[in-house]
Chain A
């Protein structure tokens, strides 16, 4: 090879080595409790991941205030990974947290589609995963190490069906589903079943993919069937855009949605088009419950805005985890010690993880800011849902529907 080629290859090798060295950065070796968190910090629904992060941060603040950030004498540290909104990245992120950071538990993900990818990794490794708000039933079906803090979609679909039929007294509904989204497809199916059971009629069904910009073609097709309402169980970004375009096309019917609408950005995106629209959610900000109001104040103080339900659920997830850790420490300090980062990879760790899982599974009447949390035998939380109306550019609590 010529000298020139040698030099070029030499440079490539140098760069490669530098990167390699940088990547293998040394990690501090104190004994800690490492908790992992994964979410979509970037990407189309970045608000979900960012909200989760805020919730966990607030829980950590509380922990710092109450016990200097320690449980059972060990400092708690969080590791946050971004899955960019991509399912396979979710799997890789969780793998990394479990194997490199040696986390003892994982909080995440908001989106059911991504929980479906991160879950199996946790289940196989025997690391508990608590999803704040994945509502698709399949998520906890992955295995006994997977938990969630929220209700599931068979319930949520029924909630909106009930609300539409009984409260709004409407009979003809069109559905617009996000086919790219496990959550949306599931919720559509459950709503359909519940609504037709109540004597309602689905007059039209159309679909889109999250990430689409233009929905006029689908909306035009829906408009032709004259629905009294449109059920739109998608995520907030598209919900806002679709509402706008619907109004531009002259569709006046109210649009209904699920907890995927819950975001600080919803009204910014949808604007006036969302007036008189409703969606099912995990909590309402104007609920006078004192726990919730205290949480609101904390969030306002730190971030200068009201929290959304995702933040609340993540906050509860972190606290349930902390409470379970504390319980384990009280009941069995010897096994608890297995959770320390120094004990990673040992059999004691495996035993400790299993015990932790068992304790999380017994969570009963936990006083969360999103309501009382009791995990049933499928590791789902049975909680009431609230219906929120968008009135005067604000989210207004309308009613609560119990399971």
Chain B
């Protein structure tokens, strides 16, 4: 019951922010905030696969692409008609568009989840580096497939997507992925995932169905990546296969690694940091990617566990530690 109240409260808060924010800041800042949100969803969803389950997945952009394209096609074929019909019936614009966006995101996420399932399956036989390359390969194959299907724009992409993404929906997406991750982490399923991460052979020996859990991680992670993709396309008004290359996957991996693999709050912070950094570094934009790569290397050498390691930002824990003078460092 208490959880439901929290949920309702959060949604109300989001709605309030969603209305107030666009009036308070200029559209450029708004765009950066929305991109932050989308990257947070990507990072936290990847954290499920890489951080919780310890699987090297570096093809996340592929799932994002599937979600972006699926939701776009759904919107352009069906969504816009629904909105027109609903508005004709007198429903307010934001309600009709919101509902249509929600449907589109579910379609996008769903299809991405299917892709996650297909990618997860062969990964069962692979470990570590090989898995990484295979996920990379899948990401590329998805991109090439999109490139080849002329019906969805092929190499040129699709333009003219209505702008339905706003702060509310991005916030809702962030809330959803964080809640799901959090609850997963504190559940039996989560324990199974962590067990697989820590020692897969031991977990298998102890009776954990590693197959089922690894695939589950991929499916959930891919679902949210698809949602992020849908939000992305419904904001930029156009999708193009070039937005979903290997480099994009690497950017998301960098966020998860920087934040600390296995830490939800770490992924959130890192995603925000790494979205703001290019904007802030615009004056020295030529050097931006060089800073980025040096940061990755230095991070791995000095503090490979990232900002948070696998711990979470938590107020009670923080207060507890301050209080005990001789507590663990």
Contacts and interface: CB of A to CB of B under 8 A. Distances in A.
B84 interface: no
A120 B156 CA distance: 15
B281 A19 contact: yes
Contacts of A12: 307
Interface in B23-78: 26-29, 31
B277 A19 contact: yes
A99 B238 contact: no
B279 interface: yes
B239 to A, nearest CB: 9
B212 interface: no
B303 A116 contact: no
Given A87-B243, A95-B28, A23 B282 contact: yes
B183 interface: no
Nearest to B248: A88
B147 A88 contact: no
A113 B154 CA distance: 12
Interface in B273-313: 273, 276-277, 279-283, 285, 302-303, 307
A125 B281 CA distance: 25
B13 to A, nearest CB: 26
Interface string B148-159: 000000111101
A23 B277 CA distance: 9
Interface string A165-181: 00000000000001111
Interface in A112-166: 113, 116-117, 120-121, 124-125, 138, 142
Contacts of A25: 283
B156 A113 contact: yes
B322 to A, nearest CB: 10
B89 interface: no
Contacts of B203: none
A217 interface: no
A275 interface: no
Given A86-B242, A95-B27, A117 B236 contact: yes
A96 B29 CA distance: 9
A23 B280 contact: yes
Interface stretch (A1-9, A53-61, A225-233): A1-9
A222 B273 CA distance: 50
A23 B281 contact: yes
A25 B29 CA distance: 15
B240 interface: yes
Contacts of A86: 242-243
B258 to A, nearest CB: 10
Given A23-B282, A116-B159, A100 B154 contact: no
A99 B27 contact: yes
Contacts of A185: 154-156
A138 B157 CA distance: 13
B321 interface: yes
Interface in B239-253: 240, 242-243
Nearest to B303: A8
A88 B156 contact: no
Given A99-B28, A185-B156, A209-B155, A113 B240 contact: yes
Contacts of B27: 95, 98-99, 125
A345 B26 CA distance: 9
B329 interface: yes
A1 B29 CA distance: 34
A23 to B, nearest CB: 3
Contacts of A22: 280, 283
A182 interface: yes
Contacts of B283: 22-23, 25
Given A25-B283, A87-B240, A99 B26 contact: yes
Nearest to B328: A2
A117 B28 contact: no
A234 to B, nearest CB: 12
Interface in A350-379: none
Contacts of A1: 321, 329
B156 A181 contact: yes
A19 B283 CA distance: 10
B282 A120 contact: no
A333 interface: no
A224 interface: no
A116 B280 CA distance: 26
A88 B65 CA distance: 14
Given A82-B285, A117-B236, A87 B155 contact: no
A19 B288 CA distance: 11
Contacts of B280: 19-20, 22-23
B154 A16 contact: no
A98 B302 CA distance: 41
A50 interface: no
A270 to B, nearest CB: 23
User: Which of the listed residues B238, B281, B307, B321 has the most CB atoms from chain A within 10 Å of its own CB?
Assistant: B238
Nearest to A177: B155
25 contacts: A1-B321, A2-B329, A8-B303, A12-B307, A22-B283, A23-B281, A25-B283, A86-B242, A87-B238, A87-B242, A88-B236, A91-B237, A95-B31, A98-B28, A99-B26, A99-B27, A100-B26, A116-B157, A120-B160, A125-B27, A142-B159, A179-B154, A181-B155, A182-B155, A185-B156
Given A16-B273, A20-B276, 13 more contacts: A19-B281, A98-B27, A98-B28, A116-B156, A117-B236, A117-B240, A120-B159, A120-B160, A120-B237, A120-B238, A125-B27, A185-B154, A345-B26
The list of the 4 closest CB pairs from A to B, nearest first, reads A99-B28, A23-B280, A2-B329, A182-B156
